[in-house]
Structure 1
Amino acid sequence: MFLPDVLDQTVKKLKTQIANCLTLTNIFLGGFSIIFSLKGHIQLSLLLIFIAALADRLDGMAARKFNIESELGKQLDSMSDIISFGAAPALLIYQGILFELGAPGSFFTVLYICCGAFRLARFNISENNGYFTGLPITAAGCIITFFSLGINFIPPHIYLFLMLIMSVLMIGNFRWRKI
């Protein structure tokens, strides 16, 4: 009986590490997205954010499939989300166009990151019961990243409005069912 117990524990640890490795991949991609944004490689930064979204989706699927959801995994996921879908998209838009607007561009960039952090903190301390409260930061980050494709065509002031709308939607009290 000893060997099967050890094997079961080993398999469970490996499954846990799969989800955590996917979460760390998300952070890794978000971090490099920030670096590439700061170096002016906007297209590469954009691509890394979208790949981070895929890693974020896969880590949640792995955790649910293997029934290995944990407090550590939940906190690690939130830390990766604030980097990959908070700071990375905000800096992508800032470096791409909002810097042209001076202080208002800086303000709305930081506001978006703060609202994303607030949304994640609220999510971590609440009972979810199959519902999201406010727009998930992953969705907000992907929307902002998608709109970065139009930097050459959309006026800068529209991006201020977009950052404000995404910020308000993330901290809003509306609820909607998880998919």
Structure 2
Amino acid sequence: MFLLDVFDSTIKKFKAQTANVMTLTNLSLGGFAIIFAIEGNLRLSLLLIFIAALADRFDGMIARKLNIESELGKQLDSMSDIISFGVAPALLLYQGILNEFGVPGIFFTVFYIACGAFRLARFNITESDGYFTGLPITAAGCLTTLSFLAIPFLPGQTFLFIIIILSFLMVSPYKLKKV
């Protein structure tokens, strides 16, 4: 009987950490994306950000499906999201084009990260009502990352505009229905 209880307890602990492992995978992919962007391997950085988005999608699904949502998981998810969809996409776009604008490029790169952090903090202290307030950082990060692919085709100033618009959309008061 004792071994059965130990086994059952171990299974419950493993199950409880499944979503957190997926969240830490998201964070790790974002961390690697940052390092590869710094190293100049921008295409690999882009790929890792999109894979992080998949991990982010699955961590929430797993937590809901296994009924293991927790305050720790919510906070860990936000910390992972600021890395994978705040810092990593901003640095990718900075390395790809925004660095050509000097101080304004630096300012709006950091501004985007700050708006993403604000958006996540606001989300964490707000009761869920079936709506997001402002553009979710995951969507903003994916759009920022996707815009990187257009660098050869659009004027450089376009990317300053993109990062400014996405920054303001994240902190905007507009409500978006959760899907």
Same fold? TM cut 0.5: yes
- Percentage identity across paired residues of the two chains: 68
CA deviation after TM superposition for structure 1 residue 154, in Å: 1.4
* 1:24 corresponds to 2:19: no
Give the match's secondary structure for 1:132. strand
CA deviations 1:28-48 (Å, max 9, x no partner) are 000000000011111000000
Aligned to 1:36: 36
Deviation at 1:5, TM superposition (A): 5.7
1:107-139 per-position Cα deviation (integer Å, ceiling 9, x unaligned)? 110000000000000000010122111100000
Is it true that 1:86 corresponds to 2:62 in the alignment? no
Partner of 2:139: 139
User: Root-mean-square deviation (CA), in Å?
Assistant: 1.4
Alignment correspondent of 1:162: 162
SS at match of 1:150: coil
TM score, norm. by length of structure 1: 0.95
Q: How far apart are residue 64 of structure 1 and its match?
A: 0.4
Q: Which residues of structure 1 form unaligned runs of 5+?
A: none
Alignment-derived partner of residue 120 in structure 1: 120
* Structure 1 SS opposite 2:176: strand
Q: Letter of the 1:16 partner, please give it.
A: A
Q: 1:150 offset after TM fit, Å?
A: 1.1
1:177, distance to aligned residue in structure 2 (A): 1.5
Q: Residues of 2 paired with 1:16 and 1:169: CA distance?
A: 34
TM-score computed with the length of structure 2 as normaliser:
0.95
Q: 5+ residue gaps in structure 2?
A: none
CA distance 1:44–1:13, change in 2 (3 Å): same
C-alpha distance in 2 between matches for 1:145 and 1:35: 15
Which whole-Å deviations, capped at 9, do the CAs of 1:11-61 have from their partners, x for residues lacking one?
A: 332122111110000010000000000111110000000000000001000
Could you say which residue in structure 2 is the equivalent of 1:69?
69
Q: How many residue pairs get matched?
A: 179
Paired position in structure 1 for 2:97: 97
